[in-house]
Amino acid sequence: MSDLLASNVPEWSVSELSGALKRMIEGEFGHVRIKGEISGYRGPHSSGHVYFSIKDSTAKIDAVMWKGVFGRVKFRPEDGMEVIATGKITTFAGKSSYQIVVETLEPAGVGALLAQLEERRKRLAAEGLFSDARKQLLPFLPEVIGVITSPTGAVIRDILHRLADRFPRHVLVWPVRVQGETSSAEIANAIQGFNALSDNGPIPRPDLLIVARGGGSLEDLWSFNEEIVVRAAADSMIPLIAAVGHETDWTLIDYAADRRAPTPTGAAEMAVPVRADLLATTADLGRRLHLAERRLMDRRKADLRSATRALPSLDALVAAPRQRLDLAASKLGRGLERNAARHRALLTEAARRLIRLSPQARVAALRARLDGLGSRLASAQGASLRAERQRFDRQRQMVADLSARAVRALGVQLDRRRARLKSASQLLASVSYQGVLDRGYVLVLDPAGKPIRSADAVHSTDALTLIFNDGNVAAHAD
């Protein structure tokens, strides 16, 4: 009977059965929305796709996210993060398993977003993007102000109205979306676009940038927490004011910006001073400068009058020099006579010395001295030659003796060195690990190239190196 029942059961191929199960599961469930914890997240594959699992306390389901879908995810998935995934249940015949093809992925509540935000803040802070050393001073009175915000919201009207009240300036508005999938890329491109403008181009380059948005929830302001926006703000060569949300709202661009404004209106107040106050201050400084100049001129006039009264008359100034001139004129005749007598005596003495130093007298004295030196030189040459010959004989004998001693000493030294080298070679051979390898043992090195002395030091999947006496072999721990 059992054979009859078995013969009535239709036969399925593995592919047919897998296809039937696939059609049944996909037709029964279709799109689902599940909540759970990410497990086994491996990051983008070389193809760009992402594979992980979603689990709760008792069950787990495999998940796959295609490359295009992963590019639209606004946060970085991590192991242990609680998420809500929406997608289609399907089967994977290659593993005889079912899985969910994720089409949207979002954190499960504000707590997950805050945890991700705090992790991103710490990571970017560790790179130095929020350092005070990177921040620039705002210009006192910018000629051109670039505003990056939505062109249709109340934010741009508040900024323009506040600038017009305080100090009208030339404003360039770069319209962007401040919420949505493409908003972060648009904001970053706007910051980089303003920085790319040339100083002498048709569009003036701003002296100051304002990135502004009105208030909203954490999700609404999330575009200003994206890493691409934070890095663009930190890299901006134009001073930048972040005015995102209300005074209690904080985003990551606030840390990277050069200044943070509590509101968009506050950013306009930071950007320019009050023109009326500047005019009043300028008028007051001008009045004080005029009074100071008048006081200085009055003081200089008084000093000039005092100096004029203290100056002597012209006759008093030339009286003393005139008297000195008369005295010098009376002494000039006697001084000339004494000077001529002194020079005459000097000339007589010089003539007497020239006679003693005539060429004929000097040649005769030198000839006599040369004759005496010639006779002394001949006798000295003979004595010196004999002394040099004796000294050369002594040194030649000394060199011969030293050469013989050096040959004997070198032979003794070489014998000693050969004995020490032989002893050291024997000692090295006795303690070298190569001798141990020659006896059939193997030296195991860890991935860092250090010897492993204990089995506890080996971890699963470690790349090991086995050194034999005749070569090396790579291995993996299992």
Q: What is the pLDDT of residue 96?
A: 65
SS3 assignment, position 131: coil
Beta strands in 197-282 (DSSP E): 208-213, 240-244, 259-260
Residues of the chain with pLDDT under 50: 1, 4
Joined tokens for residue 277:
């106050």
Say whether domain 12-108 belongs to CATH 2.40.50.140: yes
Joined tokens for residue 332:
């000039």
- Gap between the terminal Cα atoms of the chain: 51
Residue ranges per domain, the chain? 12-108, 134-273, 383-431, 437-476
Cα–Cα distances in Å, from 270 out to 154, 229, 234, 274, 309?
19, 22, 19, 10, 58
Q: What is the pLDDT of residue 129?
A: 87
Q: What is the pLDDT of residue 288?
A: 92
What's the CATH architecture for 134-273?
Answer: 3-Layer(aba) Sandwich (3.40)
The DSSP output letter for 394 is H
Q: How far apart are CA 92 and CA 53, in angstroms?
A: 14
Q: How far apart are CA 79 and CA 85, in angstroms?
A: 15
Q: How far apart are CA 459 and CA 478, in angstroms?
A: 8
CB 229 within 8 A of CB 235: no
Cα–Cα distances in Å, from 439 out to 435, 436, 443, 468?
7, 5, 12, 10
The answer for residues whose C-beta is within 8 angstroms of residue 212's C-beta and 6 or more apart is 147, 148, 149, 155, 156, 159, 243, 244, 264, 267
Q: What is the tens place of the pLDDT at every residue in 231-282? A: 999 999 999 999 898 877 788 888 989 999 988 998 999 999 988 888 888 8
Joined tokens for residue 279:
């005019």
CB 34 within 8 A of CB 84: yes
